[in-house]
Amino acid sequence: ELKVEQNPLFLSMQEGKNYTIYCNYSTTSDRLYWYRQDPGKSLESLFVLLSNGAVKQEGRLMASLDTKARLSTLHITAAVHDLSATYFCAGLTGTASKLTFGTGTRLQVTL
Amino acid sequence: DAGVTQSPTHLIKTRGQQVTLRCSPKSGHDTVSWYQQALGQGPQFIFQYYEEEERQRGNFPDRFSGHQFPNYSSELNVNALLLGDSALYLCASSSPDRAGYTFGSGTRLTVV
């Protein structure tokens, strides 16, 4: 069964600095997703990574996937306060395409 | 184009009661999955419905059941509510190619 681990669990970031969130998964995953969740809100889709070496960028966020290492990273460039939220990675497995989520990384950007 | 719609938004129930949550998928999506998200945790897969049948189930007891209708909308039923069932329940719909999953805004269930 797929297990997904994220680290760190909590990240206090200074505005303007660069940081990386790591997502390790235990077995082969068909796809890797990144989501953002604001407090009390639902999940907003950020990226879908389909294959080894995939890299996607949107604004200050860049996600990459290394299937051989079973590792995905979410890199934040020049953090701003608006990026404060909880970020989840999730792997997709099985014929029913079940999403298995990591524990989440709570990001707090301070001045 | 409406996204995934869930109702109700919030719900307070007493232990032992039964609850029904509803979900309308995004237009063009035929598959509906339900997730439970306890406070401070990641969402946990409950089950998935496709062609009106339960296709896969997570580690949830039989108190959790569901249904999918011909128009692809879905219901999640929870019987004999426990305090531990208090959570945000998320519905996600997906298209046949499973390229993306769209989540609804969720139903916040509080069991007292």
pLDDT in tens, B57-99: 999 999 999 999 999 999 999 999 999 999 999 999 998 776 6
pLDDT in tens, A49-71: 987 888 999 999 999 999 899 99
- Residues of B whose CB is below 8 A from A104: 41-42
Q: What is the pLDDT of residue B62?
A: 96
Shortest distance between the Cα of B10 and any Cα of chain A, in A, equals: 11
**Of the candidates A43, A48, A94, which has its C-beta nearest B103's C-beta?**
A43
Shortest distance between the Cα of B48 and any Cα of chain A, in A, equals: 7
Question: Residues of A3-23 as b/e, b for ≥16 C-beta within 10 angstroms?
Answer: ebebeeeebebeeeeebebeb
Band of pLDDT at residue B2, cut at 50, 70 and 90: low
A39 inside 8 A of chain B by CB: no
Shortest distance between the Cα of B33 and any Cα of chain A, in A, equals: 8
Q: Is B102 in contact with A45 (Cβ distance < 8 A)?
A: yes
Task: Tell me what the pLDDT averaged over chain B comes to.
Answer: 94
Residues 6+ apart with CB under 8 A from B2: B24, B26, B27
Q: Which of A16-20, A52-56, A105-109, B16-20 has the lowest mean pLDDT?
A: A52-56
